[in-house]
Structures are given as C-alpha cells and as structure tokens.
Amino acid sequence: MRIEADSQYFDHDDKAIWVFEKASKGKPKKKVKKYLTNDIYDEIKERKGKIFTIEADVLNGLLREAYEAVVPDTNKVIPMPFHFWRHCFAQDMLRASGWNYALVASMGNWSVEALTKYYGSPNEKDVRAFVKETLPKLEAQTIEEATIPDHIPMVIA
C-alpha cells in the first residue's frame, strides 16, 4: 500500500491537505483530510507537485523506531506501534473534547460506533468531574438567560 500527497490537494484555508491511500487490487482508494501544524504548513505550503509518497511498510518502520525510542520496555508487549499511537490520539482527543465522539471520529477517520466500541467511554472519575464542573453552571442559568434556538417552540404555562 502507498500513501501520497500532492500540492494540488492543499486546503490553504484550513491549513490541511487531502492524503490518498493507494488501494490494493479490488479495493477503493481512500481519501483523508489531514490538518497540519503551523510549522509543517509553513514549510511545505509553497511546494508544487508531490509532497510525499511513502510505502506503508516504510511508514510502519518509522513509527516502530519512534515507538521503540519512546517506550522501549513495552515494545515487545505491544507489537503494533501504529495502533499504539492511534489509540493514544483517540484517548487524548476524547478526554480533551469532553468525550465528543462525533468530533473525534471526524478527526481520526472513524465512525462514531467504531470509536465507541474500540476506544471506550469516559471512566467514572471523568464523568463525576464533568458533572461536578457542569451542573453548577447549569443550575445558575435561568430560562431568561438560556439561549433557545428560534426553531424550537417555547410554551410557557
């Protein structure tokens, strides 16, 4: 499998690029929008033509090297470094977003169902912390202060 990016697929407004995964025989080509850090965007925004082409086994080798450098003791226990980083990303983004599955699913190219199934749900401690932080804010808000969208009818008895 080969992964490619070309300058014609830049989205300069979002500082992103569409990346294509060349499919193997009989499978469709995948297209994923990847958001770039400011540093990476600034470095490659003026390039024309191919930005990169990388074979999956080369990418997996680079990820394995990074994985071994960061967590050498567990390298033999967790043999799939790419999925290790993917799981870390999913968990970090879920926590940072307040467990917003739709947002994180779109960032990692998952379905909400797959994200929930494979990456779990908030633990009891996170739920309690959210409730403890959020309920006082809601209790302090009155009907007059609440913003109710125009398309929702409001009936006052």
Tens-place pLDDT, residues 118-141? 887 888 888 888 888 887 776 665
Contact 24, 2 (CB under 8 A): no
The reply to whether 54 and 124 lie within a common domain is no
Statement to judge: residues 57 and 125 lie in one domain: no
Angle in degrees, CA 102, 67, 90, rounded to 5: 10
If asked whether residues 51 and 88 sit together in one domain, one would say no
**Within this chain, do residues 98 and 135 fall inside the same structural domain, yes or no?**
yes
User: Which residue segment(s) compose the domain that 126 sits in?
Assistant: 83-157
Residue-wise pLDDT for 11-58, tens only, equals 999 998 888 877 667 676 778 888 888 888 888 888 899 888 888 788
Say whether both 64 and 118 belong to one domain: no
pLDDT at 156 over 70: no
pTM: 0.50
Q: Last residue of some domain: 31, 56, 79? A: 79
